[in-house]
């Protein structure tokens, strides 16, 4: 048997691999775009399959597509939804800026697969990629619709649940560590006492704020561009097509999807995508801070801060036996850095709305879905393999407090700022504690000194030496 077959498009004949379900346009794009070797990800292909499946169903209901072809296209599209046809989607992300090559890839694959289901040979075009599969659609409204849909599904099904689980575990640690008083740090220098539970309560709130902003940003993606066709006018589509397809997509995804209020804005502008990317960047910023703090608080085990004990998940060195590193924190920090870089590219992509069409949608899609996937996986791994098993060294925390020069802060309201500063300076120069210097100076009675230098009350609002 021949390894190739001949298919045709508007530019003429093209050799196509004999067992490939795609056709001539995809084969041309394969030759044109040999850039990264990175294809569209599974969530995008799933969304594309859902759109094509519901488009065929609605076109059948509207009397625009005969039942035999419609059912075959729907069955083929369901195979795309479930991942059975993924190997027939080889095109590079870095392609035509509208994603036309990938939309036609889907049209050709579904047309050929539908033909097979109708016992027609590959390339017969008995089910036509443009006339039947792409009926009522354009790459210019299908690709951004798939981008929105994929991002919504992945965020709601994977990233937001991962963030909520992280919140839950951080809340548990905040309660568990609330009795442990340690030293706070500002400018990387010792500051006043703080409860370890307060630190983790802060982390809890950071994640809650980031998750809330992300969830709110998702609303913009619920407006789908489908129905605008080429430039937003809706040429060559039935007036009821978009609202019916979107209603079907909303039902199967349980998402509050709706047709774009203005198709011209929806196809030429990508501010909603940039906004979601910004929320992902905000999330990454919070996560980086939390992971980095925990990494430093767990530094040691003997010559670092050592206030936290991180779970040992793997050997840390090829040369130093017994070394264990904070690898889960480092992994999450790298995920955050990549997500922030992706946001920069998405922002630049958002600038490329030239007249009636944005022409950087494939790159924006790739970066957006990569950030969602990386953050979902990174957060889940960090939560399960680091946060959940995190423990505190209470003895170490208490020892650090007593050594801190910032303990003199509680003396200032009673003895004055200048005298408190002199005590701190003398303690530093002599290598003694604030308590020892203050006791030797006789500035306060022993009982009063012990009351003022009790670290626990310093973690609450109030003025030492006065009514709290």
DSSP 286-345: HHHHHHHHHHHHT--SSSS--SEE----S---SSSTT----HHHHHHHHHHHHHHHHHHH
- For residue 119, the 8-state DSSP code is T
Instruction: Give the H or E element holding residue 365.
Output: helix 361-382
Residue 435 near residue 408, CB atoms below 8 Å:
no
**β-pair type (258-259, 223-224):** parallel
Residue 181 near residue 397, CB atoms below 8 Å:
yes
- Catalytic-role residue among 317, 339, 430, 441: 317
* Cα distance between residue 121 and residue 112, in whole Å: 8
* Cα distance between residue 226 and residue 233, in whole Å: 11
Residue 180 near residue 195, CB atoms below 8 Å:
yes
Residue 101 near residue 25, CB atoms below 8 Å:
yes
* Cα distance between residue 328 and residue 255, in whole Å: 33
Instruction: Give the H or E element holding residue 108.
Output: helix 100-117
Residue 102 near residue 40, CB atoms below 8 Å:
yes
User: Residue 130 burial by CB count (10 A; 0-12/13-18/19+): exposed, middle or buried?
Assistant: middle
Residue 207 near residue 170, CB atoms below 8 Å:
yes
Residues 6 or more apart whose Cβ sits within 8 Å of residue 193: 181, 182, 183, 184, 401, 404, 407, 455, 456, 458, 459
Is position 126 annotated as part of the catalytic site? no
Q: Following CA atoms 256, 259, 262, 268 in sequence, which dihedral angle do they give, to the nearest 10 degrees?
A: 90
Token pair for 47:
């969304």
Residues 6 or more apart whose Cβ sits within 8 Å of residue 83: 42, 45, 46
For the four alpha carbons of 424, 427, 432 and 435, in that order, the dihedral sign comes to negative
CA distances for 428 relative to 183, 218, 320, 396, 397, angstroms: 17, 53, 35, 20, 19
Residue 342 near residue 370, CB atoms below 8 Å:
yes
- Catalytic-role residue among 101, 187, 299, 441: 187
Is position 88 annotated as part of the catalytic site? no
List residues with catalytic annotation.
Answer: 187, 317
């Amino acid at each position: 048997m021949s390894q190739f077959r001949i298919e045709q498009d508007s530019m003429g004949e093209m050799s196509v691999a004999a067992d490939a379900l795609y056709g001539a346009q995809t084969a041309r794009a394969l030759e044109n775009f040999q850039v990264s070797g990175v294809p569209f990800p599974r969530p995008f292909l799933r969304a594309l399959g859902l759109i094509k499946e519901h488009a065929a169903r609605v076109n059948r209901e509207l009397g625009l597509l005969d039942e035999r072809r419609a059912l075959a296209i729907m069955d083929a599209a369901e195979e795309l939804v479930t991942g059975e046809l993924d190997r027939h989607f080889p095109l590079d992300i870095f392609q035509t800026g509208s994603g036309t090559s990938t939309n036609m890839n889907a049209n050709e694959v579904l047309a050929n697969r539908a033909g097979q289901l109708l016992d027609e040979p590959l390339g017969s075009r008995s089910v036509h990629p443009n006339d039947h599969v792409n009926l009522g659609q354009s790459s210019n409204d299908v690709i951004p619709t798939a981008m929105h849909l994929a991002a919504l599904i992945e965020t709601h099904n994977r990233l937001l649940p991962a963030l909520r689980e992280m919140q839950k575990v951080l809340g548990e640690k905040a309660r568990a560590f609330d009795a442990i008083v340690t030293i706070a740090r500002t400018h990387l220098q010792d500051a006043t006492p703080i409860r370890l539970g307060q630190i983790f309560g802060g982390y809890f709130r950071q994640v809650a704020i980031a998750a809330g902003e992300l969830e709110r940003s998702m609303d913009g993606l619920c407006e789908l561009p489908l129905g605008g066709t080429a430039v937003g006018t809706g040429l060559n589509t039935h007036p009821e097509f978009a609202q019916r397809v979107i209603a079907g997509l909303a039902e199967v995804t349980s998402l509050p999807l709706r047709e774009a209020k203005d198709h011209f804005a929806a196809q030429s502008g990508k501010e909603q995508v940039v906004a979601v990317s910004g929320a992902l960047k905000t999330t990454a910023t919070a996560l980086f801070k939390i992971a980095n703090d925990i990494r430093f608080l767990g530094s040691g085990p003997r010559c670092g801060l050592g206030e936290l004990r991180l779970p040992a998940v793997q050997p840390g060195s090829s040369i130093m036996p017994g070394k264990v590193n904070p690898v889960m924190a480092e992994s999450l920090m790298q995920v955050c850095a990549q997500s922030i870089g992706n946001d920069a590219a998405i922002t630049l992509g958002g600038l490329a709305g030239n007249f009636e069409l944005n022409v950087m949608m494939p790159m924006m899609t790739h970066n957006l879905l990569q950030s969602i996937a990386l953050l979902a996986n990174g957060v889940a791994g960090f939560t399960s393999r680091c946060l959940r098993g995190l423990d505190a060294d209470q003895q170490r925390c208490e020892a650090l407090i007593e050594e801190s020069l910032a303990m003199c802060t509680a003396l200032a309201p009673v003895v004055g700022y200048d005298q408190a500063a002199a005590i701190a300076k003398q303690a530093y120069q002599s290598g003694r504690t604030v308590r020892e210097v203050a006791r030797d100076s006789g500035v306060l009675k022993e009982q009063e000194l012990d009351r003022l230098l009790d670290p626990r009350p310093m973690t609450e609002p109030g003025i030492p030496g006065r009514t709290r």
